[in-house]
Structure 1
Amino acid sequence: MTVKLGANRYGKAETRLVHVVKDGPVHHLKDVNVSISLSGDMEAVHLTGDNAAVLPTDTQKNTVYAFARKYGIGQIEVFAQRLATHFVATQEAIRHARVEIEEYGWRRQGPHSFVRDGGEVRTCLIHHDEDGRTTVVSGLKDLVVLNTTGSEFHGFAVDGYTTLEPTTDRILATAVHARWRHAGEPASYGTSYAQVRQALLDAFANTHSRSLQQTLYAMGERTLLTCEGVCEIRLALPNKHHFAVDLSPFGLTNDNEVFYAADRPYGLIEGGVLREDAPDAGFAWE
């Protein structure tokens, strides 16, 4: 029996890239997921393990970051064509390049603050006992928000295992999971929901953050001060880390413009804010 190599390709899948374009105090945001597949004269690597024709997938990832810095992203179709053309033109063994890009939409909330389009889920938790007592906890989850600047993190505790560098300028992003308790029944739960949601967004956009904990408290405080009838709010804020990519190996600078959006692990900040006269919550949160 004779066997032979069939169709094949290789590449770097799902390179997450967040690109910030700074136009003075107004920033513009592009958030994309780039997947690359290359094919061509790859018999040797499959049959004998000879890697001479193989452009490392790590190099493909670096090219995505470097091209974002050099050319910007613009229309994703143009960016994808630029990448595909580059790989075929510069690699003798490559006959075909496949580049797939997903773009995630953000709506502007302020000069450097954005709200992710889609993904938000409205929630509620109802308790009703035989004595006729009903408790209502409203909420939302997966409300993804991001500030491209206006966030710091320094002066933290250190020990022998600390490697994190202090920073006075970073991206702050989180997927808000909020639950709030009503002191009584509002005239409209829909109106109340909209008011709380807007209070959370306003506080996030307008708080100069020195820690995500500080931002959490500011979001809770603004909710209680502006949303009549809400007596307590609890928030869970995962820190969606964005790390500036080191482009120095390619002779490029990176003034907080090209980031790697990390998936995990992530910091998780949780806390509650309540009115001093808030009635006992009992088992409302369970």
Structure 2
Amino acid sequence: MAIVLGPNRYGKAEVRLVRLTRTSTTEHELCDLDVSVSLSGDLADTHLRGDNAKVLPTDTMRAVVYAFAQDEPLPAIEEFGLRLARHFVAAHAPIDTARVRLVEHPWLRIPAGDGPHPHAWIRGSGARYAGVLHGPAGSEVCSGIQDVTVLKSAGSEFHGFLTDRYTTLAPTRDRILSTSIEARWRRPRTCTGPTDWDASFRTARDTLLRTFAETHSLSLQQTLYAMGEAVLAEQAELAEVRLTLPNRHHYPVDLSAYGQENAGEVYEATDRPYGLIEGSVRRDDAPEASAELPWE
């Protein structure tokens, strides 16, 4: 039985990039990114014989990220990722496929006496994500959010579930529901033409948050589906939404040992173990995503 080289790729992970756009002497714009590049193609020689003639150093990948950030004001991270991916494939013949992952960390302007400060920020919560794949079949992009922690103190139930002799969880018709949203949405490769990535991102993010808040939840699974369905209903060009929702449990504390009654006001918040709800919502006529698309 022969031993052969399987699928492989290599790259530079988590290049830290801060891009400052000086719109005036005092008014600045800030973009804070982690950028990861991964390349694949005709690279068997380096694995099998240690021949690096077709290997682009990962240090060069890092340099390209910084150089492309300087060329012009930084576009939406999806567009920036597409430019990087297309460059690596076009510039180096042994490379046929490039994957780029981008995470944008939010910074909020610090309030000043007469409005937001023009060049001082405080780091916000949550992050914007983009995953780009460019190869022989063309380009494919997914966008998303991650580490967006949300909570609703009413409008959530959980009952009627399967039980066995190990079940101790009591059913409830009133509970705190909290999760940290990781969501991804994608366009099919057949979707061509210019895209307003920023507007699409804002719409999807706002739809996810609004649906979480407004859906009367009988389970986090039901909420997941409602969130994905709402995003697809509002943006016809999107093909699929994938969601990962860890259940950030909040348990009422039993105060009876202290002679007190807890009327749903005091809770213990636990970070582990936690329920993990994952799922996708897609159009039934949409083409499948490429297996190489970097969802994470």
For the aligned pair, the TM-score class normalised by the smaller chain equals: 0.5 to 0.7
Cα deviation per residue 1:86-107 (whole Å; 9 max; x = unaligned)? xxxxxxxxxxxxxxxxxxxxxx
Q: CA shift at 1:187, angstroms?
A: 2.6
**Mapping of residues 3-152 of structure 1, within 5 Å:** 118-131=124-137, 133-152=138-157
2:277 corresponds in structure 1 to 269
Query: Residue 156 of structure 1 corresponds to which residue in structure 2?
Result: 161
CA contact (8 A) 2:152 2:177 kept: yes
Percent identity (aligned): 51
Residue in 2 that maps onto 1:194: 202
SS at match of 2:239: strand
1:182 to 171, 183, 187: 187
1:225 is matched with which residue: 227, 230, 233?
233
Residue type at the aligned position of 1:222: A
The one-letter amino acid of 2:171's match is: P
Matching residue of 1:27: none
1:238 maps to what in 2? Answer: 246
Question: Cα distance, 1:278 vs. partner?
Answer: 1.1
Query: CA deviation digits over 1:130-167, x for unaligned, max 9?
Result: 35x00001111011110101100011011111110100
SS at match of 2:160: coil
Instruction: Tell me by how many angstroms 1:251 deviates.
Output: 1.9
Q: Secondary structure at the match of 2:207?
A: helix
Q: Could you tell me how far 1:247 is from its partner in structure 2?
A: 1.1
Opposite residue 256 of structure 2, the aligned amino acid is S
8 A contact 2:157–2:175 mirrored in 1: yes
Which runs of 4 or more aligned residues in structure 1 lie more than 6 Å from their structure 2 counterparts after TM superposition? none
1:126 alignment partner AA: V
Return the match for 1:252 from 254, 260, 277.
Answer: 260
Other structure's SS at 1:150 match:
coil
C-alpha separation between the residues in 2 aligned to 1:130 and 1:232? Answer: 22
Q: 2:215 aligns with which of 204, 207, 210?
A: 207
Which structure has more relative contact order (CA 8 Å, sep 6+)? It is 1
Segments of 5+ residues of structure 1 without an aligned counterpart are 1-116
AA matched with 1:122 = R
For 2:282, give the aligned amino acid: L
Q: Give the Cα–Cα distance (whole angstroms) in 2 for the partners of residues 227 and 254 of structure 1.
A: 44
Tell whether the 8 Å contact from 2:156 to 2:218 is kept in structure 1 after alignment. yes
Give deviations 1:160-217, integer Å, cap 9, x for gaps. Answer: 1111010000000000000111132563111100000011011101100000000000
The residue number in structure 2 matching 1:172 is 177
| 1:71 matched residue in structure 2 | none
- Counterpart of 1:170, as a letter, is R
Confirm or deny: 8 A CA contact 2:208 2:230 kept in the other structure.
yes
Query: In structure 2, what residue type is equivalent to 1:278?
Result: A
CA distance in 2, matches of 1:227, 1:202: 15
Q: Does the 8 Å CA contact 2:151/2:176 hold for their aligned counterparts?
A: yes
Could you tell me which runs of 5 or more consecutive residues in structure 2 were left unpaired when the two chains were aligned: 1-122
